[in-house]
Amino acid sequence: MNGIKQLEKIGYRFVGPSKHSAIKICEWTRKALRGENFCYKQKFYGIATHRCLQMSPSAQFCTHRCLFCWRNTDITYPKWIGPVDEPKRILEEAIEAQRKILQGFKGNPKVTKERFNEAMNPNQVAVSLIGEPTLYPRLPGLIDEIKKMGATAFLVTNGTQPDMIKKLLSHQPTQLYITLAAPDEEIYEKTCRPLIKDGWQRIMKSLSFLDKFSCNTVIRLTLVKNLNFINPEEYAYIIKNANPKFIEVKSFMSVGFARRRLPYSAMPLHKEIKKFSEIISKKSGYKIKDEKRDSRVVLLTK
């Protein structure tokens, strides 16, 4: 597929016979291995950052070309093309690829033997790296395989495949994220640049399923100044109707290809994210529970 070599140069490793799946070591995982810092998901939800496998079963498939995305969205396909690899094989090869990359940490004086050995056996899988995972036709099976190995499965989706979200009611991840990137359809079109005609309606339908899940459910707002960082009351209205267990209000991060589309100044400061969160809290009834300043993110819950 086009773009694989380009992505490999910046740290991606493609797995499975058809190479539609990929992993990449998160910078937070590297920091956690060295005992320096950890991901906000560890602070909020208790996962072990150094044992997290960041992967995607649909690396070059997505229904959006979001301005804030760190990927090269020029190599994005809105529909599945080609064969579909087996979930078990994807997961096995993903773990093996992660182990090979992390071997270099074995001799690092900052990395304890215990942390290194634990990292060789990930117990958390973030299905969120790149592309839209709900386009992978065998996603329910992948979730089952992750849980079968005793790991937690954090699935992040843009919500444009409500039929797959509905299927996951019988194959629930540990935590289901739906990104809400706009308070209304007009801003959604500008922010996410969808490759499908009815994206907003599909997202609203996916959000309507959240209340039926027994796993942790999260609506995450990824906010950009002078774009979608407006109208917190309208976000609150959507959130209140969807009734997730958690809300994450987060600044977009100026990394990767996002730097080519948006200026660094478009990143809201943490204090601005906090103020925005306070308005959402007041209008939705959710309470601010936690925050992580260096990730510019605030957690709300009931």
pLDDT band at 8 (very low <50, low <70, confident <90, very high): confident
Does this model's pTM top 0.85? My answer is yes
Predicted pLDDT at 51 = 98
pLDDT digits (tens, 9 = 90+) for 42-52: 999 999 999 99
Q: Does the structure show a pLDDT above 90 at 96?
A: yes
Q: What's the confidence (pLDDT) of residue 255?
A: 78
Q: Report the C-alpha gap between 19 and 225 in whole angstroms.
A: 36
Q: What domains lie within the chain, and their CATH numbers?
A: 4-301 (3.20.20.70)
Whole-number Å distance between alpha carbons of 59 and 54: 12
How confident is the model over 228-259, as pLDDT tens digits?
Answer: 999 999 999 999 999 999 999 999 987 777 77
AA identity, residue 137: P
User: What sign for the dihedral angle of Cα 209, 212, 213, 218?
Assistant: positive
Q: Is residue 1 pLDDT above 80, yes or no?
A: no
Which residues, in sequence order, are CB contacts of 50 under 8 Å at separation 6+?
Answer: 29, 32, 33, 38, 115, 118, 119
Q: Classify residue 165 as exposed, middle or buried by CB count within 10 Å of its CB (0-12, 13-18, 19+).
A: buried
Residue 94: CB atoms within 10 A of its CB come to: 26
Rounded to the nearest integer, the mean pLDDT of the chain is 95
Separation of CA 80 from chain center: 20
Please check the confidence at residue 31 and state whether its pLDDT lies above 60: yes
Euclidean distance between CA atoms 55 and 172, whole angstroms: 18
Average pLDDT for 181-202: 97
